[in-house]
Amino acid sequence: MEDLSKITCISDFQQLARRRVPKMFYDYVDSGSWTESTYRENESDFQQLKFKQRVAVNIEGRNLATTMLGQPVSMPVALAPTGLTGMQHADGEILAARAARDFGVPFTLSTMSICSLEDVAEHTQAPFWFQLYVMRDRQFIEALINRAKAANCSALVLTLDLQVLGQRHKDIRNGLSVPPRPTLMNMLNLATRLRWCQGMLKTKRRTFGNIIGHATGVDDLGTLASWTQQQFDPTLCWDDVEWIKKCWGGKLVLKGIMEAEDARHAVDAGADAIVVSNHGGRQLDGAPSTIACLPAIADAVGNQTEIWLDSGVRSGQDVLRSVALGADATMIGRAFLYALGAAGQAGVTRALEILANELSVSMGLCGVRDIQDVDRRILLDPARFDR
């Protein structure tokens, strides 16, 4: 077992993942669209929010526990849906789901996962959430929803901001494919990633498990590529959200909200939670950071629905800042993907430990004992983020 005790922050895992994960899959995680300005600002804008340090306050017995969708969680963090997770590490979705289960936080499986719904359900034996992309093939979408029900998923996370695909230069230059094409450049890169290769040789899960063999006419990687290009649906509207909510019949989370007006629409559509998210800066480059948009959205919908923040969360301090500005909880993507690529399930567990410790210590130094008591008063001049 690898000793991860010297890994002290998420950036340590990022550097380790860079060395262990094949370039095209590392770049898939560590990139945004076009100039990547939104990707960078998702992180840097957090740093503009300064804490008020308090002293001589009883901070013993600090509590991070809360709920998300009525589900008890050990801290206000869930693992976000991320595509190709099983290409960061063999069986990646299963390993991440197990780490989340054991730590007491939710895991969300992406439509574009490598391990299928059925795989994750079988190997975790615990409820998880499922993220849905809306495709033109509504029969396929309905079948996916029914599969999520059969897998005992406890919530459906509907992503609204991928009607068209933002251009990601690194993916185009790398010729991103699953599995990697046997080009000379790819083979040379894989030759330096022996640990990753050994893991992939031991698993049968090397392609999109929720799609191949399930979508009509998609039986192999060749047909998958053309199907995917044709299937993302630019006609998606609020009527479709209502149809999906009716088909699902359970807790519904709407992800990709960046404006107060859309947040109000989401509430009207019956969302049990909304996720303030710009897809990690991978869609509309030039959009503001999520933390910059959060206060206006929180003011607009108040306690009418749960508000979570995604995109740019790399530390427990970022979680604390998000809660202070009105989020009920957060979702992490890259933070756990770096850890997964670096060290598998143990890496994800260690990443969650790091976030929890950073959150607890920072909360205490701000003079707060319970996460439920965190608000804007712990921040110095949060008004600069009001829109």
Distance CA 326, CA 73 (A): 18
Distance CA 26, CA 41 (A): 20
Distance CA 346, CA 361 (A): 22
Per the structure block, which two tokens stand in for 20?
């262990």
At what angle are helices 37-47 and 290-301 packed, to 10 degrees?
70
Can you tell me whether residue 129 is helix, strand or coil? strand
Per the structure block, which two tokens stand in for 165?
């695909």
| Residue 220 Cα to chain centre, angstroms | 27
- Strand boundaries in the chain, DSSP class E: 50-51, 66-68, 71-73, 77-79, 108-109, 129-132, 155-159, 252-257, 273-276, 306-309, 329-332, 379-380
Element (H, E) at 376: none
Dihedral sign from CA coordinates of 74, 119, 335, 302? negative
Catalytic residue among 89, 123, 169, 279: 279
Phi, psi of 253, deg, nearest 5: -115, 130
Determine whether 89 is an active site residue. Answer: no
Q: Could you identify the residue written with the tokens 């033109």?
A: 136
Cβ neighbourhood burial of 189 (10 Å; 0-12, 13-18, 19+)? middle
Cβ neighbourhood burial of 374 (10 Å; 0-12, 13-18, 19+)? buried
Closest by Cα among 28, 21, 180, 189 to 90: 21
Distance CA 330, CA 363 (A): 16
Active site residues: 279
